[in-house]
Amino acid sequence: MNRLSNKVAIITGASAGIGRATAKLFGAEGAKVILGARRESELASLVKEIEEAGGKAVYLAGDVKSEAYAEALVATALETYGKLDIAFNNAGIIGEAGPSTEISQSGWDEAIAVNLTSSFLGAKHQIKAMQANGGGSLIFTSTFVGYSNAFPGVAAYAASKSGLIGLTQVLAAEYGPANIRVNAILPGAVDTPMYQEMNDSADKQAFITNLHALKRVATPEEIARSVLYLASDDASFVSGTASLVDGGLSITRT
């Protein structure tokens, strides 16, 4: 407990799935959290849950595609808690799916904007606040798709999430001297609303489950614990990594 005592953290995509689980875990571990997502009612209920468990949290609803929103999240952290130590840029979508030659430009652009550009915009302003604070930890949610395994029909998703790995490496190299660590997590399949949407039948879920060495998919809480590690001082010498948290999916051929 209290691995994040006195730390201040921004979490985007906080209204559901990995983001929600991470927000609750960060709050339980002593962090003061700023929650970002589009759905205000879900954010408000999450703040209430965190506070009832003894944590501290505020929220700001908005669109991660907006640079003004990225700035506002950082401003909320500074105005409410006086600093920023951690940012988990987690918001993401599957985006338009189908054969790559049939994907519309608008569908492609939307996936890039939500999954990649929003993380760049977030980091752009988060880093400035972390520099003023003497350092920090940035974490992005990428994926195994397009990294260790390929799936047909999700070109925009794979390309946008793969781009986060390059962004992670460049930011880690640029801002390591400022004591800012930058890492990406690459989850395997996680039982979230997005997973349920993609795998809407027993046959699809059985296929995905069997891809993993552990022969199951992750819970959001399991992924949150990996994020906690990267956010905490336990990972003080970890930067620039694409960290697989995939239940052995990347090495399974059976």
Q: Would you please indicate which residues are annotated as catalytic (active-site) residues? A: 157
Q: Give dist(CA 137, CA 31) in Å, integer.
A: 13
Sign of CA dihedral 147, 220, 38, 195: positive
Q: Give dist(CA 86, CA 180) in Å, integer.
A: 10
Placement of tokens 């956010």 in the chain: 231
Beta bridge pairs of residue 183: 139
Q: Give dist(CA 237, CA 150) in Å, integer.
A: 31
SS (H, E, C) 187-219: ECCECCHHHHHHCCCHHHHHHHHHCCCCCCCEC
Look up residue 12 and give its two tokens: 């985007």
- Residues near 130 by Cβ (< 8 Å), separated by ≥ 6? 84, 85, 87, 136, 138, 175, 178, 180
